[in-house]
């Protein structure tokens, strides 16, 4: 049970770190960003967070967490 909790916390904190950097520290040119251009005018650009990209990130972190958990499981 301790390994399961450790893996969950590890991937949850990794997800939060990725989400912070993908929203605040990245630009539109980065491939791992979750920002998207919503509307463009001559002098302004509206940028928003793409829920599809965030959902894909959640799925990828969840799947990789399951894989790591099953690899680290104790063998009986």
| Helix (H) / strand (E) containing 44 | none
Q: CB neighbours (10 Å) of residue 59? A: 10
pLDDT at 73: 76
What is the residue-level pLDDT of the chain in tens, covering all 76 positions?
A: 677 888 889 999 999 999 999 999 988 888 888 999 888 888 898 989 999 999 999 999 999 988 888 888 765 5
pLDDT at 1: 61
Q: Could you give the C-alpha distances from 17 to 25, 31, 63, 73, 74, in angstroms and in order? A: 11, 16, 17, 25, 28
pLDDT at 12: 93
């Amino acid at each position: 049970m301790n390994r399961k909790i450790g893996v969950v916390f590890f991937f949850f904190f990794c997800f939060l770190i990725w989400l912070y950097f993908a929203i605040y520290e990245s630009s539109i040119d980065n491939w791992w960003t979750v920002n998207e251009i919503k509307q463009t005018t001559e002098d302004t650009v509206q940028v928003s967070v793409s829920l599809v990209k965030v959902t894909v990130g959640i799925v990828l972190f969840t799947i990789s967490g399951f894989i790591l958990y099953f690899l680290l499981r104790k063998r009986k």
